Chains A and B, each alone.
Chain A
Amino acid sequence: MDGPSGQDQRASAAGRPAARPPLRRAAHWARDYARLPGIPDEFIGADGEPRPVWNRFADTFAALAPTDIDRRFASADRHLREAGVTYRSPGDNAERSWPLSHLPLLIDETEWTQLSQGIVQRAELLERVLQDIYGAGRLVASGALPAAAVAGSSEYLRPVCGVKPPGGRFLSIYAADIGRGPDGRWWVLSDRTQAPSGMGYALENRLVQSRAFSSIYKSMNVERLAPFFEAFRDALRASADRDEPRIGVLTPGTFSETYFEHATLARYLGFLLVEGDDLAVSGDRVHIRTVAGLKRVDVLLRRLDSNSLDPLELDAASRLGVAGLMDVVRKGGVVLANMPGSGVLEARALLGFLPSLCRRVLGEDLKIPHIATWWCGQKSARDEVLSRLDEFAIEGAYGRAVPGFAASGPVLASELSAPERERLRAAISQRGIDYVGQEVVRLSTTPVWEDGKIAPRPFVLRVFAAATPDGWTVMPGGFCRIADKLDARAVSMGDGARAADVWVVADKAVAARTLLPGSDNVRIRRIAGVLPSRAADNLFWLGRYLERAEATLRLIRALAAQHRDPGKGSPAQLNTAERIQRLLLAWGAIAQTSRTQGARVADEALQAEDQFGSALSLLKSAQRTAISLRERLSPDAWQVITEMSNQLAQDIDDDDAVVSTAELLLEKLASLAGLAQENMNRAAGWRFLDMGRRAERAINTARFARQFGYDEATPEDLDVLLTLVDCQITYRSRYLIGPSLAPIRDLVVLDLYNPRSVAFQIEVLNEHIAGLPVLKENGLIERPQRLAISLGARLTAAEAAHLDGRTLFALEQDLLNLAEAIGQHYFPHGPNATRPEKLTGLA
């Protein structure tokens, strides 16, 4: 059954060189590849020779120079980092970069075809079992399926009983974790029927791997992933009850460990990324709150656990769902993919019954075996497990945890202390329904690249199947997680595992396709659907944070320049520096106490973590906001934002470094603004980003004018003002005199030709507001527009000579009011809105 050990294999390769074709490069690799005894390997087949599919890969790969290999690996890593491919472990605050194994998992197409048939069969079987469990209940009534094995799962949802799933099916997407067992066959380790994660990561891994090894990838006839996603998208579309349906990816939010993936899928499939707060039930439908009012949503690709979906019918404590959602599902008003309650089939208690269920339901034998499992709710199985307790891995029958035991993974009786073993035995005797015994299996290994050579590691492969009107289709490839420990069943992204791309390799060339529609009957549209209020709110704030960061950096640069100036120390200059510091203090960039410490002030305003207005804090806020906009930002924009915070994480110790860092960041901010201006679609999303920027710039500029262009301003003050608003050159080209108050006030506040003046910002804001949808139908002008128009008119009519400290202050207040009015008007349901409260219960 098992191949020869690494030792034997070396001997055979060395002993019979002449009888074979010239030693292939794969054989070189094989020489130092220390396979684990008794365990199959993906690289070396059962015959002790490299599998053919690996020969082709290794020949090309090994031809690369070591430096070239390092360069490609580094480029893959860099791409992952820069694209912000991340996941979060449970309990993590920060997102982590994705550890990618640089070698793909290779599977031959013939073997894959066979495997796919098994997955398709299993998906269909599980769909039928779900239909029965929540429907007629024949399987339980006839004894084919014990009621306890179903009822014990927290995913057996009573509110779903008797409900016909909208769209006609429970499972739209199914995944199985599989591994190659000691007999060389693929085994199912567990089923994922709730909301399987990993599809988006598989996509991302493919992107990185195919770029880093483009020539090998092209020469290997690797099956493309795009057709699978296309079929999945079309199937979801077809499940809705109208043409051109609106589809959302329902995510728990940015704190979810797989939020990045939700954003990736939304972007790739062209769906809206929504959270529970973005949705509202009204009548028999679910709607998305958008800047244009409530818009019906037809299908939700659900990445939220069933129990969190509806606080009224499911977990009452959930803050993530939508009150009344289950009511809409019952009325057929929204398709959920997958249907709530589908997760009941993830229970291990069911595994042992699937072979007989398959014969009964589909009339055929299971094509792909699963890990041998004894459910202790049945007396015979319980006795079996208790009699040979040490030979089993004891697992919870329904969830991740083993009831009564702290560890979330399997409990191995052989590793327990004597009293603990007795406790386990007593628990199984008392409530056997809660436990299963599983065979302890060691899974096959696949090569990883370590220290310039290959080494074997166990792995688990997650494969995906999507339900389409023409039957199930399996993603050619999947999400492979490679363990660092030897028990590969413990693999989760949390514990030091890496991911790998999965290549299904065909003999013949495969057609290259991406997600581009092939037919002509696509309705042309220029606006990419609706903009959820929450996204608009985030875009608006992203714009504001970036603009405030820019203004703060300009202040910092001006302050540091004052310190460096050779004529420093004059009373007028000290006074100007003092005014800059006062503004930094008012903006929360520095602490009260640091005002006397001169040179350190600029540094603090730049890097202080505990000051909410420091450049660092503002850029971090921008980054946080950007995370929740992931699916709407280009990779380039994301990269610039990440680079900026990284820049500020470094030590900056003198004024020169402060100035150069501030300049570098200002450049990056300018490039980001350029990206938005040149590359972002001029739909509502861009408008909100730009509105945030404009509103903030107007406020900041008015503040600068008040702080440095006050009635008794010195020439030094006015000089700083011109620098802050970037108008030195314009001013000098227009006026041959030195800094003078009225012309400067005109240029900074009133001049419509100056793109940094307050008036200019107001004019742009007016254009944006006019371009946005009107929410009310009473024909009256809406508040943001009223405020903006009246401000614009006042500034147009104003004369510089009549501006003074009082009018500048009033202007600043009006600008703050305008920004707030925009927020209240367009984002009434945004993150700052009143959340629904639960009614108090009885106690």
Chain B
Amino acid sequence: MIYDIRHVTTYEYESAVSFARCSLRLEPLSGDGQELISHSVDIRPRPSERTARRDFFGTLTESVVIDTQHRHLRIDSRSRVKLMRTPPERDAPCASWESVRDDAFEATSLGPSSPIGYVFASALVPVLQPVTDYAAASFKAETGIVAGAADLMRRIRNEFKYDPKATVISTPLREVFDNRHGVCQDFAHVMIAGLRGLGLPAAYVSGYLRTIPPEGEKQLQGADATHAWVSLWCGEALGWIGFDPTNDLVVGNDHIILGMGRDFSDVSPVDGIIVGSPKQKLGVAVDVVLVE
């Protein structure tokens, strides 16, 4: 399957901004069942400096400096991606969650895909006992790792309310958990916190969903913006598997990966600082079209 993706981010400022320094992580990943065919980012006003590098997690990160005065910033990203994933069945044979945990602790690599980087608390995902207890209900002794994670994902989908007005990026995880509402980011963070509390390696994935669902299916939640879900290391044999708690889906060919990290702060698509305007209005438009 090949998708064309258009991702436009705009900032409107109340007063003139004299300087901006941004980090952009907008290039879809190549690997893990997907292949990048083409990609370009257009930025207005035009940056005075623009350099790109791969960060620790392998995501292409562009550092951008804009020093012309502006009230309007537009970042227009276009990508074409080919997907070829075969998601596992929820009841496929797999290792028990305990053995996955023990194997993760024994990892001998600090690399970006080593499970050890994803079992500890991170900037936006604390390990909290109530959240761990919540997750533990899906992981009885000797439960298979995939079945357990799928069950946890289903419970979050059923018990949490999708409400874009309820949270902002800085809403603490504890509050999301206690109030049982939020958006895809929040659900991903809650699921990650629960898994890590049990000692399981869970990563945060940012990306896109296809906009128009296959015939006969309803549109997925979060398809008109950037999306987020969870990737869980399921042992040496299965490796990393995606779980989307917002839609109760094991990730297959409807999800396009931008980047994977410990939480949102490792992979935020557009990050930066500006000088000059305390008030800003963010607009994000995403369109994911199936080409063939």
A-side residues, CB < 8 A to B, are: 133, 137, 140-143, 146-148, 150-152, 156, 158-159, 161-162, 281, 283, 311-313, 315-317, 323-324, 327, 330, 377, 403-404, 430-433, 834-843
Instruction: State how many angstroms separate the Cβ of B230 from the closest Cβ of chain A.
Output: 17
The answer on a CB contact under 8 Å between A431 and B167 is no
For the complex, give the distance between the alpha carbons of A403 and B128 in Å. Answer: 10
Given contacts A140-B110, A324-B21, contact A837 B169 (CB under 8 A): no
B205-258 interface with A by 8 A CB criterion: 225-226
CA distance in complex: A161, B58 (Å) = 12
Q: What B residues does A141 contact at CB under 8 A?
A: 108-109
**Which of A151, A158, A323, A841 touches B116 (beta carbons < 8 Å)?**
A151
A431-B199 Cα distance, complex, nearest whole Å:
6
B55 proximal to A (CB < 8 A): yes
Interface CB pairs A-B, < 8 A, 6: A148-B105, A323-B21, A431-B199, A839-B20, A842-B269, A843-B185
| A843: B residues at CB distance < 8 A | 164, 167-169, 171, 183, 185
Residues of B within 8 A of A834 (CB): 275-276, 278
Asked whether, in the complex, the Cβ of B110 is within 8 Å of the Cβ of A316, the reply is no
- Cα–Cα, bound, A432→B102 (Å): 10
B137 within 8 A of A: no
Cα distance A841–B185 in the bound complex, in angstroms: 11
CA distance A838 to B171 in the complex (A): 16
Contact of B268 among A133, A152, A842 (CB under 8 A): A842
Q: Please tell me if the beta carbons of A150 and B110 are within 8 angstroms of each other in the complex.
A: yes
B107 vs chain A, min Cβ distance (A):
5
Note all chain A residues with C-beta closer than 8 A to B278: 834, 837
The answer to whether A312 and B55 have CB atoms under 8 Å apart is no
Candidates B107, B127, B198, B226; contact of A148 at CB < 8 Å: B107
Q: How many chain B residues touch the partner (CB < 8 A)?
A: 59
Flag if B108 contacts A836 (CB, 8 Å). Answer: no
Minimum CB–CB distance from A734 to chain B (whole Å) comes to 54
Question: Which residues on A sit within 8 Å (CB–CB) of B114?
Answer: 147, 151
Besides A148-B106, A839-B282, 10 more A-B contacts (Cβ < 8 Å) are: A137-B110, A147-B114, A152-B120, A159-B56, A330-B53, A836-B274, A837-B277, A841-B169, A841-B264, A843-B168
Q: Which residues of B contact A161 (CB under 8 A)?
A: 56, 110
Residues of A within 8 Å of B272, CB to CB, are 312, 323, 838-839
Nearest A residue to B206, CB-CB: A842
How many whole Å from B141's CB to the nearest CB in chain A? 13
Choose one: A404, A837, A841; the contact of B129 (CB below 8 Å). A404
- The chain A residue with its CB closest to the CB of B171 is A843
| Contact of B92 with A by CB under 8 A | no
Contact B108 A430, beta carbon cutoff 8 Å: no
Chain B contact residues, CB within 8 Å of chain A = 11, 19-23, 49, 51, 53, 55-57, 63, 105-112, 114, 116-117, 119-120, 123, 127, 129, 164, 167-171, 183, 185, 197-199, 225-226, 264-266, 268-278, 280, 282, 284
Q: What chain B residues lie within 8 Å of A842 (beta carbons)?
A: 169, 185, 225-226, 268-269, 282, 284
The answer on a CB contact under 8 Å between A151 and B123 is no
- A146 surroundings in chain B (CB, below 8 A): 106, 108
C-alpha spacing A834/B278, complex, angstroms? 9
B169 surroundings in chain A (CB, below 8 A) = 840-843
Query: Please, how many angstroms separate the alpha-carbon atoms of A187 and B130 in the complex?
Result: 40
Chain A residues, CB < 8 A from B265: 316
Residues of A within 8 Å of B171, CB to CB, are: 843
**B120: chain A residues within 8 A (beta carbon):** 151-152, 433
Q: Which residues of A contact B199 (CB under 8 A)?
A: 430-431, 433
User: Is the CB–CB distance between A433 and B119 below 8 Å?
Assistant: yes
Known contacts: A159-B55, A324-B21, A324-B63. The answer to whether A839 contacts B108 by CB under 8 A is no
| A140→B111 CA distance, assembly (Å) | 10
Residues of A within 8 A of B269 (CB): 842
Q: Tell which of A147, A158, A316, A317 touches B108, judged by Cβ atoms closer than 8 Å.
A: A147
Nearest CB in chain A: distance from B59 CB, A: 11
Known: A147-B114, A158-B57, A403-B127. A839 touches B270 (CB 8 A): yes
Q: How far is the CA of A199 from the CA of B106 in the complex (A)?
A: 39
Q: How far is the CB of A676 from chain B (nearest CB, A)?
A: 34
Contact present for B274 and A315 (CB under 8 Å): no
Contact A839 B11 (CB under 8 A): yes
Which residue on B lies nearest to A150, using beta carbons? B110
Question: Separation in Å of the B115 CB from the closest CB of chain A?
Answer: 9
Q: Provide the bound-state CA to CA distance between A156 and B226, in Å.
A: 29
A159, A283, A404, A836: the one within 8 Å of B273 (CB): A836
Q: Are A147 and B273 in contact (CB under 8 A)?
A: no
Q: A158-B56, A327-B63, A430-B199 are in contact. Are A839 and B105 (CB under 8 A)?
A: no
Please, which residues of chain B bring their CB within 8 A of the CB of A148? 105-107, 116, 119
Q: What is the minimal beta-carbon distance from A196 to any residue of chain B, in angstroms?
A: 25
CB <8 Å contact, A839 and B123: no
8 Å CB contact of A316 from B49, B53, B123, B127: B123
Q: Distance (Å) between the CB of A788 and the closest chain B CB? A: 27
A316 contact set on B, CB distance < 8 A: 123, 265, 271
The chain B residue with its CB closest to the CB of A315 is: B123
- CA–CA, A90 and B161, complex, Å: 39
Contact between chains at B273 and A133 (CB < 8 Å) = no
- Name the residue of chain B whose CB is nearest to the CB of A327: B63
Bound CA span A835–B110, Å: 36
* Chain B positions within 8 Å of A837 at CB level: 273-275, 277-278, 280
Cβ distance B116 to chain A, nearest Cβ, rounded Å: 4
- Tell me the minimal C-beta distance from B239 to chain A in angstroms: 17
Chain A nearest CB, measured from B44 CB (Å): 15
User: Once the chains are docked, how many angstroms separate the CA of A430 from the CA of B225?
Assistant: 38
CA–CA, A146 and B117, complex, Å:
12
- State the CA gap A327–B22 with chains docked (Å): 12
A841–B271 touching, CB < 8 Å: yes
Chain B residues within 8 Å of A835, by CB: 275
A323-B127 contact, Cβ under 8 Å, with A143-B108, A148-B105: no
Choose among B53, B114, B199, B272 the residue with the greatest number of A CB atoms under 10 Å from its CB: B272
Nearest residue (CB) in B for A829 is B275
Closest Cβ–Cβ distance, residue A127 to chain B (whole Å): 18
Residues of B within 8 A of A140 (CB): 108-110
